[in-house]
Structure 1
Amino acid sequence: MSHAEPVAPAAGGTARASWRSHHVVEWTAVIVALALRLPFVAIPAGPDEAGFLQVAGQWSPGGGSLYGSYWVDRPPLLITLFQIADSTGGLVALRLIGCVAVAATIVLSARAAGIVAGPRASAWTAITTAALLVAPGLGTQEISGELLAAPFVAGGLLALVQAERARDPRWPSFVGGVAGTCAVLVKQNLVDVAVFATVLVVAMRWFGRRDRSARPQVRIGYLVAGVVTTVVIASVWVLARGTSPLDVFHAMYAFRVQAARTISEGGGLAHARPRAALLAWAWVSSGLALLTVAVAVTAPRWRRSPVMVALAATIAFDAVSVAAGGAYWFHYLIQMIVPLAVAIGVLAARTSRVATGAALTAFVLAGAPAVLQVSDVPSSSTGEQIGTAIAASSRPGDTLTTLYGQPQVNLAAGLASPYPHLWSLPVKTLDPRLTELDSLLAGPDAPTWLLVTDRIRSWGLDTSRTRRLIAARYHRVARHNGHTIFLLDGVRRPPPVIGGAETAPRRDGKQKTP
């Protein structure tokens, strides 16, 4: 039997019983994964969660920036998903959407493996996917672009596998194009479906495999049609929200090149190297490295299987994509989960002891910390404490800007920022001399509150004028855990009260600017 073909199921009732038993494993994996995530639905927001919720909540025409009043280098479908969360309950709703994404990724990945190699592959893939999607070392508790894009990647792979084996591949190919494009519109570097589709077509021709469809170009045409349809719908949507598709494209790609140059020239590589080392350790300690090696060393078993070659190429692309990310956040590694889990499931079903051992080891390495973490659910954070204290002291119409990028404080405070950049990287890249920030601080729309993390003269920015403006127009009202809170002169507010904070209300003189 060719390794490219699915494992032939047993006949009659035995086959049905086999599929039922493996579907039980699949749904058990879903239930366990959700049980390990639900205790964390109300934990304090991470910086990306907080920032994207704020961007999404005000995204409307006329804001003056890319997404309403704010600028962020992310695709529109991601902001739309956060907009749905914002309108249906905020942070908890977002975390529940994350649970749905995890469940869908497990099921869709398992079904893709099942089509390739039968019910055993479905079960192994479900177990592996579930364990990795709850691994604390991969940053899976926060809702990231990689997590929300994962079900679209899994759905795209499933559709393309169906198209490869169907006599009428038109609609599965169209769905594959739609799903793959949606993944990119959630996280711009997740072009996994496009990589998989391209290598699958090339591998089928290279190995002389007959396409089950009468005309292979029909399959490709419907795939492209799915891509084009999705791009057109997304363009119409962003135009209706007051955003230019060309500006979005620039933010998704051209900005990333510019930002990489900024990191390199600004000495950011010195800070990136330790994070890269930590990311590499997360890759190893979560079991992802072992799974990657297992796929590589079993190449003689699958080297003439078009689907497995396409999965291996996708895994290789994901590894390069993660390494090229620059900031090296742990959640980058989520990109590798779907193709790795599908490949391992297929290999384990084909009685590869290496793949089976790798899957079991990864299950322990990823799953055990997730179980242990349930007993240590965080109830608060520094950002939430500061934001809550500012909220208690603020009045309607107040605004808050954090230097340089603490969006979780804005979210907890419930205050908008008149500065369009909620994260440090856009500040460094788009406003490196702080011209835009200084104009804001000197003008009539200066924020009521300022929060400075560490010191104003940090992050390698030109802060000389910024420091003078803050000294001239603001006074310090509190310090907490390395953060300094300033209030605009002439504005009377009670000093924020934070547990363990050093409060410093203005009396007659100015406070020294850090």
Structure 2
Amino acid sequence: MPSWTSGGRPKAAAGGAIVANGGTITHHHGVGRDHTPWIGRATRAGRHRPRRRDLTLGCYRGAMVTGGVAPSSTVALRARLNPFGALPERQRTWWALGGCLLLALVLRAPYLSTPLGTDEGGIAYIARNWPGGHGSLYGAYWLDRPPLLLGLFKIAVLGGDRGLRVLGALAAVALVVVIALLGRAVAGPRAGRIAALLAALLTGSVSIGAVFTPGELLAAVPSTLSVLCLILAHRWRHARFVFAAGALAVGAALIKQSFLDAGVAGVAFVAVSAGLNRDVRLRWPLAYGAGAAVPLGALLAWLAAAQQPLGGFIYALVGFRLDLLHTLAGSSIPLHVRLAGLAVPALASGLVLVVAGAVMGLRRLRGDRTLVVTFSAWLAAATVGVLAGGYYAPHYLIELVPVSCVAAAAVLASARTRTCVAVLGACTAVSLTAALDGAAHLPKRRPVLAVANYVRDHARPGDTQYVMYARPNVVYYAGLPSPYPYVWSLMVRARPGARAQLQRLLGSTARPTWLVQWHDADLWQLDPGDRTDRLLARGYRLAAIVCGHPIYVRNDRPAPPRVTRSACPRSAGLPYLHARLSPPRLQTGAIPR
């Protein structure tokens, strides 16, 4: 029989076992099982252990009441079969988190030296030249992205390509840590470790582009932090966590405007909490709104200082997307074909398995109405954020990673050990298979670098450039300014008046010195009357064909010297096939393809 302290607490039995109400409390880290709630205060080695309430079931975590003290032989056998079980819970969590962080970095390591992709190069190019005056939001160029993203790239681009890759690595590490903390807060230490592993595999997945530095990866960190603050508010009943959640939710949207998922989850959380608890009915909505008002106020102050209209900013973030939807609706590629482009990366990364587990995890959370509503709203908003844009790139799937990892970890933590190991093993096998394949076929982007190097090597001070119809990373690596404000092809296609503005520029004396024809002039029916072809024939001469891409120079510019022949990337031919720089005899539609 146990002995009791004067305060009614059970004393520690021999060997450090916790004894209470005539039985031991054996630690069990499963979540979601119907264990008897322990409402006393137990001690181990004479120390008071504070109660930790299970947020999902209303029971106290980590303990299950049994009928008596386990025999010493049984304890010894368990320790022999599970040597790591002897580690304190905190040490086990730290070791697991450290291993997951190392895994995330190892998966990213092969891509640290790869050239920048299209979006990375374009944003870095604008950030490098921002602010530059010209009376527009981002200087001489137009961009449909929020300012915090430009600010992060502005800092990272100081370190060049490697600086941007380091920014992505820091975001991945931070995201793994925050997801682990959120999983632990929702469903216990075991769920936190599982969530960290899933997050490490997905943030290191090349299939969804997470090994680079997409805006979605950067925005996922404050978005997940916002939801973590909501869970902490649910546990500790402090309005300051709600305030922080509101500020972080808006901060995520100011990095990537599609990341409204944390804001939707926050509104759902505040509404349900206010409906269920009278003591927070007024305080929490006010706190959440006040938190959201801080970054919004800073944004309005910045727009006022830059003398930029609010309407232009709203159009860049929202209105342009509506124009883009209208443009894509008339595309020759139907919607279901574009949506199918997300299926392969979702399968190759293992995200499909994690999302399926997340849906099951929502059922596991239904014991707490506030949690199940919050996570359901979070998952639904993240799904809408991925699918509502009309244009689907693999890195859009990153928005589903945080909520899927946490919800899936909640259900796996309560599953049998064999089931949990089998599911995690399947996810790991799928992710590592894609990682090995990606590492064997690194994106060298040699044509991009070859074209950019040619333009940069032959340019003179004051020269300008344009890539038709936009290849932002070529513009970035060439390093010349552009007189045309749109560096993405979607802007030329969807922005009203963009095509006419380009044709006016090509027919004027301000036309760019160098013009790279990356795409055909009539691609996407942008030049049905061959006017752009005629303008090129009138104002330019063919300077070179680099990796199949014609490069033109203004016809009032002296010819560049002949370049030494060298091996062509990706083929046995030559990267530079130079034409004689006499005035071209180009007929309509006769520009080299």
| Structures share fold, TM-score greater than 0.5 | yes
Report the structure, 1 or 2, having the larger helix content.
1
CA offset at residue 5 of structure 1? 4.3
| Pair 1:494 & 2:561 matched | yes
CA offset at residue 350 of structure 1? 2.6
1:346 maps to a residue whose letter is A
2:222 maps to a residue whose letter is F
| Pair 1:453 & 2:518 matched | yes
2:140 maps to a residue whose letter is S
Structure 2 CA distance for aligned equivalents of residues 36 and 9 of structure 1: 33
- With over 3 angstroms needed to count, the CA separation of the structure-2 counterparts of 1:148 and 1:484, relative to structure 1, is same
- With over 3 angstroms needed to count, the CA separation of the structure-2 counterparts of 1:292 and 1:358, relative to structure 1, is farther
Structure 2 CA distance for aligned equivalents of residues 161 and 382 of structure 1: 48
| Pair 1:164 & 2:234 matched | yes
Partner of residue 63, structure 1: 134
Partner of residue 259, structure 1: 324
Partner of residue 287, structure 1: 350
Structure 2 CA distance for aligned equivalents of residues 355 and 254 of structure 1: 45
- With over 3 angstroms needed to count, the CA separation of the structure-2 counterparts of 1:507 and 1:479, relative to structure 1, is same
| Pair 1:185 & 2:254 matched | yes
Whether contact under 8 Å (1:348, 1:356) holds in the other structure is no
Structure 2 CA distance for aligned equivalents of residues 138 and 286 of structure 1: 7
TM-score computed with the length of structure 1 as normaliser: 0.91
CA offset at residue 227 of structure 1? 0.8
Whether contact under 8 Å (1:302, 1:309) holds in the other structure is no
Whether contact under 8 Å (1:347, 1:355) holds in the other structure is no
Structure 2 CA distance for aligned equivalents of residues 346 and 41 of structure 1: 33
Structure 2 CA distance for aligned equivalents of residues 352 and 319 of structure 1: 29
| Pair 1:278 & 2:348 matched | no
Whether contact under 8 Å (1:177, 1:226) holds in the other structure is yes
**Where in structure 2 are the equivalents of 1:296-445 lying within 5 Å?**
296-297=359-360, 299-305=362-368, 306-351=370-415, 357-431=422-496, 434-445=499-510
| Pair 1:53 & 2:119 matched | no
**Where in structure 2 are the equivalents of 1:173-212 lying within 5 Å?**
173-204=242-273, 208=276, 210=277
Partner of residue 479, structure 1: 545
Partner of residue 466, structure 1: 532
Instruction: Give SS of 1:374's match.
Output: helix
Greater shift, 230-239 or 491-500, is seen at 491-500
Structure 1 CA distance for aligned equivalents of residues 363 and 337 of structure 2: 36
- With over 3 angstroms needed to count, the CA separation of the structure-2 counterparts of 1:268 and 1:405, relative to structure 1, is farther
CA offset at residue 342 of structure 1? 1.1
Structure 2 CA distance for aligned equivalents of residues 113 and 106 of structure 1: 10
CA offset at residue 239 of structure 1? 4.3
CA offset at residue 325 of structure 1? 2.5
Structure 1 CA distance for aligned equivalents of residues 63 and 533 of structure 2: 75
- With over 3 angstroms needed to count, the CA separation of the structure-2 counterparts of 1:380 and 1:322, relative to structure 1, is closer
Whether contact under 8 Å (2:542, 2:584) holds in the other structure is no
Structure 2 CA distance for aligned equivalents of residues 234 and 352 of structure 1: 49
Greater shift, 191-200 or 46-55, is seen at 191-200
Partner of residue 591, structure 2: 513
State the structure with bigger RCO (CA 8 A, min sep 6), 1 or 2: 1
| Pair 1:74 & 2:145 matched | yes
Partner of residue 127, structure 1: 197
Partner of residue 100, structure 2: 29
Instruction: Give SS of 1:138's match.
Output: coil
CA offset at residue 243 of structure 1? 4.2
Greater shift, 110-119 or 93-102, is seen at 110-119
- With over 3 angstroms needed to count, the CA separation of the structure-2 counterparts of 1:54 and 1:313, relative to structure 1, is same
Structure 1, unaligned runs of 5 or more: none
CA offset at residue 22 of structure 1? 1.2
Greater shift, 314-323 or 434-443, is seen at 314-323
Whether contact under 8 Å (1:135, 1:369) holds in the other structure is yes
Q: Deviations over 1:122-181 (max 9, x none)?
A: 1011000010111111111221110111111111111111111113x2221111111111
1:486 maps to a residue whose letter is Y
- With over 3 angstroms needed to count, the CA separation of the structure-2 counterparts of 1:134 and 1:300, relative to structure 1, is closer
Structure 2 CA distance for aligned equivalents of residues 451 and 125 of structure 1: 46
Whether contact under 8 Å (1:6, 1:117) holds in the other structure is no
Structure 2 CA distance for aligned equivalents of residues 230 and 417 of structure 1: 32
| Pair 1:113 & 2:183 matched | yes
Structure 2, unaligned runs of 5 or more: 1-36, 38-54, 65-84, 569-573
Structure 1 CA distance for aligned equivalents of residues 90 and 310 of structure 2: 45
Instruction: Give SS of 1:486's match.
Output: strand
Q: Which is higher, the Rg of structure 1 or of structure 2?
A: 2
1:277 maps to a residue whose letter is A
2:384 maps to a residue whose letter is V
Alignment root-mean-square deviation, CA: 2.5
Structure 1 CA distance for aligned equivalents of residues 266 and 189 of structure 2: 23
Structure 2 CA distance for aligned equivalents of residues 277 and 248 of structure 1: 32
Partner of residue 149, structure 1: 219
Structure 1 CA distance for aligned equivalents of residues 386 and 231 of structure 2: 25
Identity of aligned residues (%): 30
1:172 maps to a residue whose letter is F
1:229 maps to a residue whose letter is V
1:38 maps to a residue whose letter is A
